[in-house]
Chain A
């Protein structure tokens, strides 16, 4: 699943370490999420949405999954 995590993080000038700490996950997890290698759980997706103050569908794009 594609996502805009890296773009949103860079826009806000947040380091991967800080995002990881805010979400309660490791930096490795943030890297995997940004690369789209790992799809987060629903709980983590909600935490991300709250962190960026955006709806989930504005962060994650599931158009690939729907095909």
Chain B
């Protein structure tokens, strides 16, 4: 999700939506009977999602207020201009490499623990990632 730092209204909406989700999730989790285990889990997830959204929205609002109007605008532009896009692309590539290594670590741990389900699922995910990369490479190689 691209959240523009110079858009006060977006950030405020995000914060308020987060607070609403957090409250709804927390209230639902509190009042749900013990036997509705799955629903309570979903309510907990909604509440957690709301908390993250609210925190993100209000922290970015505070940052915007601290930077001032002009610098906030420049900051926003820095995230979306061509250098910002190049930086984001590099960061995304680094994150993708880290994610693949995380999968390798999970496979190794699953092998040590003898957990066949995790080992199988993670191995399949690694194969899927490799296939997606191969397909994407062919597509971009033709179109660029």
Residues of A within 8 A of B (CB): 17, 20, 24-29, 32, 38, 40-41, 43-44
Q: A20 touching B82 by the CB < 8 A rule?
A: no
Give the number of A-B contacts (CB < 8 Å).
32
Residues of B within 8 A of A (CB): 74-75, 77-78, 81-84, 86
Given the known interface contacts A25-B81, A29-B81, the answer about A20 and B74 at a Cβ–Cβ threshold of 8 Å is: yes
Q: For the complex, would chain B's binding face be called helix, strand, loop or mixed by DSSP majority?
A: helix
Closest B residue by C-beta to A30 = B83
Most buried by B among A26, A28, A43, A44: A26
The distance from the CB of A27 to the nearest CB of chain B, in whole angstroms, is 5
Closest A residue by C-beta to B84 = A26
Would you list 28 pairs from A and B whose C-beta atoms are within 8 A, ordered by A residue? A17-B74, A20-B77, A24-B81, A25-B77, A25-B81, A25-B82, A25-B83, A26-B75, A26-B77, A26-B81, A26-B83, A26-B84, A27-B74, A27-B78, A28-B78, A28-B83, A29-B78, A29-B81, A29-B82, A29-B83, A29-B84, A32-B83, A38-B83, A38-B86, A40-B82, A41-B82, A43-B82, A44-B82
